[in-house]
Amino acid sequence: MVGLVIVSHSAQLAAGVAELVRGMAGSDVQIAAAGGLDLADKPLGTDVNLIQRAIKQVYSDDGVVVLVDLGSAILATEMALEMFPPAQRARIMLAPAALVEGGIAAGVQARLGSDIHTVVQEARAAFDAKLAQMDAPPTISPSSNANPLPDESALRLELVIKNPLGLHARPAARFVQTAARFPAQVYVQNLSAPRGPVNAKSISAVATLGALQNHRIAITASGAGAQAALAALQQLADENFGDVESAAASANETPQTLAAPIVNEIRGRAAAPGIARGPARLYRSALGPLPENKIDDAPREWARLQAAMEKAQTQLRAARAALEARGAKNQAEIFDAQILMLQDDALQEPARRAIFQDRQNAARALHDASEQIAAGFDALDDEYQRARAADVRAVTHQVLLHLLDAAPPSVLERGILIAPDLTPAETATLDPQMIQALALAYGGPTSHSAILAKSLNIPAVVALGDRILTIDNGTMLIADGDNGSVLVNPDAAQLQAYDARVQAARAAAGRAERARHQAAMTQDGHNIEIAANIGSLSDAQRAVELGAESVGLFRTEFLFLERQDAPSEEEQYETYRAVARALDGRALVLRTLDVGGDKPLPYVALPREANPFLGLRGLRLCLAQPELFKTQLRAILGVANEFPVRVMFPMVSTWQEFYDAQNLLDQARAELRARQIRAPAHLETGIMVEVPAAALSAAQFAPAVDFFSIGTNDLTQYTLAAERGNPHVAALTETMQPAVLQLIALVVQAAHARKKWVGVCGEMAGDPRAIPLLVGLGVDELSMSPPLIPHAKEIVRGLSFVAAQAQAQRALE
């Protein structure tokens, strides 16, 4: 992010402008004030050393923009710049802009991730809003044009879109994020369905190109970093834009056979599989008509809008984190595109002009700006991309709720939820125990809400039309997410058919449910511990209810994400302790913080990495941040005084990493004892085997560790050099690959030779196809999503260990 420095002769003025910029643009803006002389009473003047320190405070390779008040401040700043090395000096720019208006505009642009040239340009143009209010001519041409023509001499790259759903929201977000990493001016146009060129750093502009599968696009780049930008975008295209969604449901959707109409049936479209019977529960927004009043205080109104947008982004990040905690990482990426939409110039700038120039209130300004973007999606030919208009309106709806102090809708009783449509954020926060199914008047089977409903195992029918909205609350319904229909007040025959349809599935599930607290022992007496992967206290409670014998993976990172500062030792202690207590004596394996370049923390300065999955993540990051790491270790040790807690280090590659982590654990123990706090002399410590190096070195690790836990998701990807969400290489990761099974066998052999146990905590652990193989390989523990536990135990109880060993041996060959 570009840093900002406010230089003024007055310390109070500099600090006040910095405070105003933070209030307008967001608290995470990197800004420092350098006002007055560096003396006790801060007399009026400018101080070269103070300016230099302020620049250093916010400096990064993205650059620093300095705004000054009076002429001598320019001279002092130029002298301060002479104190920097040439390479850094080239990234520091003085903005010829008004201190306040320019500072606010620069802060907004910096927070959006704009390059330094764009930040300076916007700062210069910011004063025009005030001139327009006073009927004065602008000083320069407006710079807010979203899609200026690219330089004719720019470098050019042509690509063919290969992913099935085209350049839709999430691939478009990755495209924009990649382009935004470079200072070059980057533009893109659709050559197959002529649209553009548009600014490649605008999520809305890129998405509205309507780039579908097999469409050819042209990307041009000019200026510093142009070649590198095109190379990065080429690599992104080669990786299918990171798209993980299959278009099979859309492309291979077979037309439904027409049948005689059923009087009480409302036909829609199948969106998420399953069938449910229950009372209608109406879900209607409390958002009333938009205000039409004009405003007097434009900066205040803009601040209201920015605050509402910040709250909406916080909700979207929370929804993303909730889905990730449930294991739906791919679906959680939906919210990345929505957050980018809120930060996009194409939405922010029209709203800002409407507020400052037309005196519109924030709600009306935002609504009109978003409708203009949504209209571009509505005009596209492809159904999937037309559905992105709903995403634009959804994020706008989130902001409007905050602007207008409207309470979000809620469902207080169990049943089938009826609504015109749902935003992805609303869908992600639904409780599957309360919501039996979704029956929506609008939307489509490719909407992000439909995708999220699938991940939550909630049946969904969409596009039912206005008739579904006329149903009274409490009316009995059958919602069929398999054939896309809703039966209203079903008759006896329809209820009988429904009962017959679900009876067989329920019988099988019932057997597993009734035996969920029984041990998972094979028919010839070999016991397998069935554990749970969790991310929260509610997950822990659910795991116990579903028969978990322990927790094999507690993803502690949920406590660190979506916040502006690190959790304290006390907060971590209380959280871990509550989870341990909920397990009622069952063992708890806490994985230490597992984040990195792919899941950044705003309060930890991370380097920008070309491939964060091969960079500073997992234990590597923790070792680079020892104080952050030791705070977590002290909290874990504190809980271990009372409960059976184990600690597990993620992404271990070398013995040295494990040794360094153990040293920090010893330091954390000593620090607790120095504070007269008990700490256990020994804490069971294990490593996650997620990279082949750890598996191949298992014999060296085995004497020192207490256990191994194999993360098969990452182990498979790193072993086969195949990202499991990439459809081009999906075949490599969908089956039980012999190479991965051989690595698992190596770990088991090394561990058992030292009488240490081995768990598996990746998706493979809960896969009915993989369970017999893992049991046969000698794995001692299988840790999985809690809902999978009853069925997994039933599978183990049906196995012969001897037969499973033979099957595993054949799979290794």
Q: Which residue has the tokens 């370049």?
A: 597
Handedness of CA 68, 69, 74, 78 (dihedral sign): negative
Residue 461 DSSP symbol: E
28, 564 in Cβ contact below 8 A? yes
Total residues found in the chain within this entry = 813
Cα separation, 615 vs 609, whole angstroms: 7
The answer to whether 147 and 198 have CB atoms below 8 angstroms apart is yes
CA–CA gap between residue 224 and residue 222 (Å, rounded) = 7
Q: Which sign does the torsion angle of CA 55, 56, 58, 61 carry?
A: positive
Nearest to 632 by CA among 649, 609, 615, 654: 649
3-state secondary structure of 374: helix
Q: What is the CA radius of gyration of the chain?
A: 29
- CA trace torsion 392, 397, 398, 400 (10° rounding): 130
Amino acid letter, residue 615:
G
Q: How far, in Å, CA of 169 to CA of 511, rounded?
A: 42
**What distance in Å separates the CA atoms of residue 430 and residue 286, rounded to the nearest whole number?**
18
Taking the CA atoms of 659, 665, 668 and 669 in sequence, report the sign of the dihedral they define: negative
Element (H, E) at 178: helix 169-180
Catalytic residues: 448, 761
Tokens 């996650």 locate to: 688
H or E, element range at 757:
strand 757-760
Instruction: State the DSSP string of 35-57.
Output: ES-SSTT--SS--HHHHHHHHHH
Residue position matching structure tokens 């340009």: 121
Contact 171, 178 (CB under 8 A): no
Contact (Cβ atoms closer than 8 angstroms) between residue 68 and residue 94: yes
User: What is the rounded distance in angstroms from the CA atom of residue 398 to the CA atom of residue 363?
Assistant: 11
Half-sphere exposure of 447 (CA within 13 A, CB side): 30
